[in-house]
Amino acid sequence: MSLSEKRPLLPSNIKKKGTKPVLVIHGGAGTLDRSRLTPELRVKYIAALEQALLAGNDVLANGGEALDAVVAAVTVLEDCPLFNSGKGAVFNSAGKNELEASVMLSRPPSNRPDILPTRRGIGVTLITRAKNPSHLVRALYLAPESIHHAFLSGAYPEDFAASRGETLVDPSYFWTEARWREHRRGLGLPEDPLPYPSTTDSSDAPLDQLPKGTVGAVALDAQGCIACLTSTGGLTNKLPGRVGDTPTMGTGFWAEEWKPTGPLARLWRKLTRKPLRVAVGVSGTGDGDYFIRLNAASTVAHRMKYLGESLDKATSAVVEDLKLNGGLGGLIAVNQDGQVALPLNCSGMYRGVIRTDGVPKTAIFDDEILA
């Protein structure tokens, strides 16, 4: 099983003269059953992935910030019942939705010079009323004068975001028939009667059953900032109060920028009279407990930083380590040159990439290429 996408289909078109934006997304990874994917359902998945890519790219193509681009992309996936986030979130063992999200930047947005580089990012967990957790974490990140922490849970972050204009909903908003039935079936409980009338088409039952995945996006903007954003409903039938890798900094998400040292860095400075800069953003999806145990996302950056590995090598090594330890999943990542990596160690990961040509490329199963 290949751990990364084939290079010819994901060429780097970044020129040294300037940064060209790129956006990569995922809609979750795990055990995806190809036999259940009807042509009609495949069309719906691809359409949602393409819509997310185009929404984020619209921000980047107009000179916008990476932060706003990843929010735009993830919002589309949060609003689609096919994915385990927002409207399509799974239930815990008590039959409740407890959502999680996070955001992290390699450097502050260019339009917010008041935000210190050390702020980095923020995660939230046990969210029950924020319609779009992606909007919530952006609101928290952009409020350094009020939110000093890197990790929050429960009602307070939701109420704060609402005071900044974000939308809260009744918890029943997140209910979908497909996720409810898999929750009840997974616990060996009767599926009927339903607690609410079904509002989704039965043909929209998600391909992933008892999912462990998330949705996420990583973007590089024209200003050179990389932002990553991840959003999830967590594990199906997780214990109430369980906290996963999605909001836990360094495990399910990471973004960092640094200046390398050593002979090559010194030669670069001598030739260009500019310091060499390396940056990376990572969003993970899969068995979150294993991502936590291996500190997966930040390990990608540390392998690049301390071992001098390429983006492809570092991400593939981390995903292989996850597999060796019993964790299925995948990663999406972008570096400062616009190179992308999308390795996975399982049967599938909803994924896509869009570059300055504005053409969205998507794939689902592990043997598919981005096209």
Q: Are 150 and 122 in contact (CB under 8 A)?
A: yes
User: Residue 300 and residue 320: Cα distance in Å, rounded?
Assistant: 12
Is position 246 annotated in a ligand binding site?
no
Is position 286 annotated in a ligand binding site?
yes
Give me 319's structure tokens: 């995903």
**Residue 306, helix vs strand vs coil:** helix
Is position 245 annotated in a ligand binding site?
yes
Q: Are 104 and 121 in contact (CB under 8 A)?
A: yes
User: Residue 56 and residue 277: Cα distance in Å, rounded?
Assistant: 25
User: Residue 347 and residue 202: Cα distance in Å, rounded?
Assistant: 24
What are the DSSP calls for 349-368, one per residue?
EEEEEE-TT---EEEEETT-
User: Residue 115 and residue 337: Cα distance in Å, rounded?
Assistant: 24
User: Residue 329 and residue 347: Cα distance in Å, rounded?
Assistant: 9
Look at strands 22-30 and 215-220 and give their pairing.
Answer: antiparallel
Is position 243 annotated in a ligand binding site?
yes
CA atoms in the 13 A half-sphere facing the CB of 37: 16
User: Residue 326 and residue 311: Cα distance in Å, rounded?
Assistant: 23
User: Residue 66 and residue 71: Cα distance in Å, rounded?
Assistant: 9
Is position 242 annotated in a ligand binding site?
yes
Q: Are 78 and 215 in contact (CB under 8 A)?
A: yes
- Which residue bears the tokens 């999200």? 101
Is residue 230 part of the annotated active site? The answer reads no
User: Residue 313 and residue 288: Cα distance in Å, rounded?
Assistant: 21
Is position 285 annotated in a ligand binding site?
yes
Catalytic residue, chosen from 75, 214, 246, 362, is 214
Is position 176 annotated in a ligand binding site?
no
Distance of CA 113 to the CA centre of its chain: 25
Is position 337 annotated in a ligand binding site?
no
Distance of CA 4 to the CA centre of its chain: 17
Q: Are 102 and 230 in contact (CB under 8 A)?
A: yes
Catalytic residue numbers, as ranges? 214
Annotated binding site: 242-245, 285-288
| Binding site members for substrate | 242-245, 285-288
